[in-house]
């Protein structure tokens, strides 16, 4: 479903049927974090979901301020691979063990 920022996110839910206006981020709420509409504009989860669809990678999110209190709140993401049992440093790429790299093409004459 599209977020208020206009990007497609698998964890955003919006119910607008017959005048309802219910919006929530199910990923944040499942981990006990509070959600507001402004978090969707800088959230990295839609980009991660678009780049990597590994079923073994689980995202852990928290809402915080990156450096100082003057910056706005942002969603911070860390990932863990359940198949290789290790932390994933780049969630957009993955752990490197779940999905093998594409095979090599050889041209024989």
Q: List the chain domain ranges.
A: 12-88
Backbone angles phi, psi at 33, to 5 degrees: -105, 150
| pLDDT tens digits for range 97-108 | 887 666 676 777
| Integer Cα distance of 45 and 43 in angstroms | 6
| Integer Cα distance of 31 and 60 in angstroms | 8
Per-residue tokens: 34: 């509070």
Query: Which pLDDT belongs to residue 68?
Result: 65
> For the chain, percent helix, then strand, then coil, each to nearest 5?
20, 25, 55
pLDDT averaged per 10 residues in sequence order, the chain, 109 residues: 91 91 93 91 92 90 79 89 92 82 71
Give the full edge-to-edge strand order of the sheet including 57-64.
57-64, 74-81, 86-88
pTM for the predicted model, two decimal places = 0.79
Largest CA distance in the chain: 67
Query: Which pLDDT belongs to residue 66?
Result: 74
Query: Which pLDDT belongs to residue 69?
Result: 63
Query: Which pLDDT belongs to residue 12?
Result: 94
Asked whether 92 and 47 are in contact (CB, 8 A), the reply is: yes
Query: Which pLDDT belongs to residue 99?
Result: 73
């Amino acid at each position: 479903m599209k977020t208020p920022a206009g990007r497609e996110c698998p964890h955003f839910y919006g119910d607008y049927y017959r005048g309802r206006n219910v919006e929530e981020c199910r990923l944040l709420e499942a981990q006990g974090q509070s959600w507001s509409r402004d978090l969707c504009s800088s959230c990295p989860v839609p980009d991660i979901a678009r780049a990597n669809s590994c079923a073994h990678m689980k995202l852990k999110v928290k809402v915080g301020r990156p450096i100082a209190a003057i910056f706005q709140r942002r969603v911070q993401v860390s990932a863990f691979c359940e198949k290789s049992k290790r932390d994933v440093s780049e969630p957009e790429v993955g752990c490197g063990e779940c999905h093998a790299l594409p095979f090599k093409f050889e041209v024989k004459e």
